[in-house]
Amino acid sequence: MSMSDTLATTRRQIRTQPGSRWLWLTLPALLFFCAFWLLPFARLLQMGMQEDRSTQHSGYWTVLSQPHYLVSLLNTVLLSLAVTLVTLMIAAIVGCFLARQRFAGRGILLALLTFPLAFPGVVVGFLVVMLAGRQGLLAQISLHLVHERWTLAYSLAGLFIGYLYFSLPRAIVTLVAASEKLDRSLEEAARSLGASQWRITWDVIVPGLQPALLSTGALCFATSMGAFGTAFTLGTDLAVLPLTIYGEFTNYANFATAAALSVVMGGFAWLALMLARRLAQAKGVQ
């Protein structure tokens, strides 16, 4: 059999077995998924069922029955929601402005706004300390004006500033790109029909940006739920889940409760991502 006949036979076999071809193509991704997500997460689920060192109950029951764990969960969820909402509001306004305006220095301004993408969470926490810590800019100004040091860095307010600083550049990049793809003719049609700028924003711009807002908000929420470096830099006494998990397995070797808290935190982040996906799909169907 000639080489050309062999190649032709191989092509026919591939065409007649499309399922096996796609299976081989997706095999590396499946192996990576199993090795670095499925197996570790299954181990976390199993470990959370073991007995807690202090309560002698399973890690999951300990998380549900101990108030300080529930407070940590509530603080983390509320903080992540607040960061997400404020991030989306600021990033949507900035994104629409930069997408519609052309002026000298626009590229430099966009580069400056997205420059914090290069900073890890530890650096972001350090910047918050420099701004609102005991020796920070806010403390120096307040000491000069009212003879009292105002500090926000070592509280949930400081953590909110750090998470906001961390999330804004990512949201701005996404929403600038989404705003540039909006159909401006729809706005012009609404304006010609006498719609106010508020109605145009609410009825035309926001629905057009909704898929980008949903996906960006879900990622922002998930990132804020699990962000550790910024929280650790600002203080290990903050009652948020990443620091609570860290304390359980480093200070107390309480692996069962740490695993249960990790599963709960991952579950909330996963629900946010799934909800955003469902809402985006429903918007696409409409």
Number of separate helices (H) and strands (E) present in the chain: 15, 0
Query: Quick one: pLDDT at residue 7?
Result: 45
Gap between the Cα atoms of 13 and 9, Å rounded:
6
Gap between the Cα atoms of 147 and 53, Å rounded:
48
Residue 275: what residue type? L
What is the average pLDDT score of the chain? 85
Q: CA-CA-CA-CA torsion for 259, 265, 269, 275, nearest 10 degrees?
A: 110
Q: What is the pLDDT of residues 128-181, one digit of tens each?
A: 999 988 888 889 999 888 888 888 888 899 999 999 998 999 999 999 999 988
First-residue to last-residue Cα distance in the chain: 56
Domain 51-283 has what CATH class? mainly alpha
What does the angle CA 141 – CA 145 – CA 150 come to, to the nearest 5 degrees? 55
Q: What is the pLDDT of residues 79-99, one digit of tens each?
A: 999 999 999 999 999 999 998
Gap between the Cα atoms of 204 and 183, Å rounded:
9
**pTM for the complete prediction?**
0.83
DSSP string over 39-68: HHHHHHHHHHTSBPTTTSSBHHHHHHH-HH
Residue 159: what residue type? L
Gap between the Cα atoms of 263 and 281, Å rounded:
26
Query: Quick one: pLDDT at residue 27?
Result: 80
Is there a contact between 117 and 170 (Cβ–Cβ < 8 Å)? yes
Query: Quick one: pLDDT at residue 246?
Result: 92
Residue 193 DSSP symbol: T
Residue 263 DSSP symbol: H
Q: In 3D, which of 147, 229, 216, 144 has the Cα closest to residue 178?
A: 216
Q: CA-CA-CA-CA torsion for 178, 181, 182, 184, nearest 10 degrees?
A: 150
- Give SS3 for 154: coil
Q: In 3D, which of 198, 224, 206 has the Cα closest to residue 82?
A: 224
Q: Distance of alpha carbon 168 from its chain centroid, rounded?
A: 11
Report residue 58: phi and psi, to 5°.
Answer: -65, 155
Is there a contact between 284 and 211 (Cβ–Cβ < 8 Å)? yes
Q: What is the pLDDT of residues 53-66, one digit of tens each?
A: 778 888 999 999 99
23-32, 74-83, 221-230, range with the lowest pLDDT: 23-32
58: β partners: 51
Query: Quick one: pLDDT at residue 17?
Result: 52
**Percent of the chain, pLDDT > 70?**
90
